[in-house]
Amino acid sequence: MSSVKFFSGSGSAELSEKISHFYGKPLGSISHQKFSDGEISASFNESVRGCDVFLIQSTSPPSDNIMELLLMIDAARRASAKYVTVVMPYFGYARQDRKDKPRVGVGAKLMANLLTAAGADRIMTCDLHAGQIQGFFDIPLDHLDASSIFVPYLRSLKLENVVFAAPDVGSTGRARRYAQHFNAEMVICDKHRKRANEIASMQVIGNVKDADVILVDDIVDTAGTICKAASILKEKGAKSVRAVITHPVLSGKAYENIENSVLEEMVVTDTIPLKKESEKIKVLTVSDLFAKAIRKIHDHESISSLFI
């Protein structure tokens, strides 16, 4: 069986170290350079000929990290790697997964085309914004689920009257899966937007009186939706409100919004490194999950045992 080699993009250095540690193999040596005009270059400092290469890079902030990842894939291909697996804990541009208005691009499909054209043999990611994005790829894609990390933590809280909430209609499926697993009730926060990142109105569908409410979503960006939902849930009589969200994009006034919110805590993963710490944000690592998945894939085993 061919040897395994891990290489990290510059945007996921800390997570890559953790994944390689759990796997039991050190990261390979790779150089990332930038020309004075911002042009990016990537080169391997060791041979990858005949190896199963795993390139680890989340694409947030997206533009530079995506370009760097594409160059890493191309470099691995040209260096005669046997098999190139792209490990993208956070898949950028996933929110642009359809034409929701005239004359717009479908960024998620473009990303799939670029990764495939660059020479990726396989993609591994976690909690895509929309599950159907898997169908944009003509190569194998392993879609991991962060619930295997969140569920044990939520059980450890020993909350008495748990109700799961979807902060918008698009998150209903995620919240429902958690509610079914915990045999709990579910509510929906129905929102109407004026424009991107700006909410016009929101209402709660369901009863949350005296409940410990847990909001479930895949991405938190400006945190406007999640904080407004928490506030309305409190107004409706919720005993406590916390959130579990996989990808902490946290742009704009996100940290300020979270600090000033009624949230007890926001539990996120390290698919994207935090820009700064916050007392209200708790980080759980996905490194062990990805390390186990990588081992199973290399050994040609099913990864179904990693799902709850």
Gap between the Cα atoms of 254 and 37, Å rounded: 30
**pTM (two decimals):** 0.93
pLDDT for position 233: 95
pLDDT digits (tens, 9 = 90+) for 133-155: 999 999 999 999 999 999 999 99
Q: How confident is the model at residue 49 (pLDDT cuts 50, 70, 90)?
A: very high
> Is pLDDT of 130 > 80?
yes
Q: For the chain, where are the alpha helices, taking DSSP H only?
A: 13-23, 62-78, 107-118, 147-157, 172-182, 224-235, 254-259, 287-298
pLDDT digits (tens, 9 = 90+) for 239-255: 999 999 999 999 999 99
Instruction: Give domain 4-145+287-306's CATH architecture.
Output: 3-Layer(aba) Sandwich (3.40)
Give the active site residue among 5, 18, 191, 292: 191
Average pLDDT of the residues of the chain: 94
Gap between the Cα atoms of 227 and 90, Å rounded: 22
The torsion angles phi and psi of 307, rounded to 5 degrees, stand at -100, 150
Q: How confident is the model at residue 175 (pLDDT cuts 50, 70, 90)?
A: very high
pLDDT for position 43: 97
pLDDT for position 194: 60
Gap between the Cα atoms of 88 and 69, Å rounded: 10
Gap between the Cα atoms of 65 and 274, Å rounded: 16
Q: How confident is the model at residue 60 (pLDDT cuts 50, 70, 90)?
A: confident
Contact 62, 95 (CB under 8 A): no
- The three-point CA angle 37-38-40 to 5° equals 125
Gap between the Cα atoms of 59 and 9, Å rounded: 10
191 annotated active-site: yes
Range list for CATH 3.40.50.2020 in the chain = 4-145+287-306, 147-284
pLDDT for position 202: 82
Instruction: Give domain 147-284's CATH architecture.
Output: 3-Layer(aba) Sandwich (3.40)
Q: How confident is the model at residue 200 (pLDDT cuts 50, 70, 90)?
A: low
pLDDT for position 301: 95
Residues in the chain, total = 308
Of 51, 49, 69, nearest to 61 (Cα)?
69
Q: How many CB atoms sit inside 10 A of residue 83's CB?
A: 17
pLDDT for position 61: 82
